[in-house]
Amino acid sequence: MDGFAPFKKHNKTCWPIILFNHNLPPENCFQKKYCIHVATVLGPKKPWDWDSFCWPLVQELIQLELGVKAFDAINQALFLLQPILSWHLVTFLLWL
């Protein structure tokens, strides 16, 4: 998360929340087409209560780590997808 002013006058700010897939090679990891834009927090100032914005994301990431059913098209079978969250993300979310 990092804020920026979208207009020349700096009285408005935007704070995008973006996820990166670190399973990709380093040269692809931060390319725009591989980034997942989760939300944008708008406001005249920096948001002070990140919990209200990040809580739905945290709940969904916890559900993903517990496992979700996914379909393997090659083997024509369901499997349990369990992505592993980066420790940096977990530390950041606990810090909030």
> What are the residue boundaries of the structural domains of the chain, listed by start?
1-45, 49-96
CA trace torsion 18, 58, 65, 25 (10° rounding): 10
CA distance 85 to 61: 8
Amino acid at 15: W
Look at residue 77 in the predicted model and tell me its pLDDT. Answer: 94
**Which residues make Cβ contacts (< 8 Å) with residue 64, sequence separation at least 6?**
81, 82, 83
**pLDDT tens, residue by residue, 33-87:** 988 888 777 776 666 777 777 788 888 888 887 888 989 999 999 998 877 666 5
Backbone angles phi, psi at 53, to 5 degrees: -90, -35
Element (H or E) spanning 74, and its range?
none
Look at residue 76 in the predicted model and tell me its pLDDT. Answer: 95
